[in-house]
Structure 1
């Protein structure tokens, strides 16, 4: 599961499946890159960067690495005035802030879910209509 197009010869062959669900889009490196490019054009690139950072974070196996990654994610995306501050509710932000000195692998789960649903509801439908996605489909000859 989660390896839709990464093994095909040409990752764009699978671009048509990206319109089926945001899961299929994000399961694929090429899909993530296209979506990121679209979000950059909308000045909301922090959403996918945060989501990717959380995905990587959850794979960390040792505490020191986890602590330093958690602090990096926190200072880049979560804290107020962060350079790429994400749009999460203040309760979630406060909870992360409270526990950042002793992070767990679940520390960012709630924030990640909020950003994921924001991308799903808001950014993803616009991505499917975007020139970026349409031009990828044209390249694959499947539009």
Structure 2
């Protein structure tokens, strides 16, 4: 039986908790992605990123949950979870996590890839970044 979950939270994301959330005796492989705040934006100015701030539409968590369930079902996953932070994050903080457990590694890894790619384009969460020179700007708007 497929088990999925998702959350949008201001709380710190813990990779250990994510791995426990997809534990299941039938799982033979887990595909995981951990998105971190990096110190630069390849498309931005030459200065260093100081922090990011994520904002979410009120429908973001429901959208994320539906997406996790859809992708997990399409790839015959047994369990899947995605989490996204909101609020102000520093360089090195965990911003998003995805884990998909399946009987075999290939569907787990494929579903994980598809899920993170779709989260970035379909879930209504926006990112504002600040640079060490004082410049701030929204990404992807």
TM (norm. structure 2) is 0.30
TM (norm. structure 1) is 0.30
- Which structure ranks higher in relative contact order (CA pairs < 8 Å, sequence separation ≥ 6)? 2
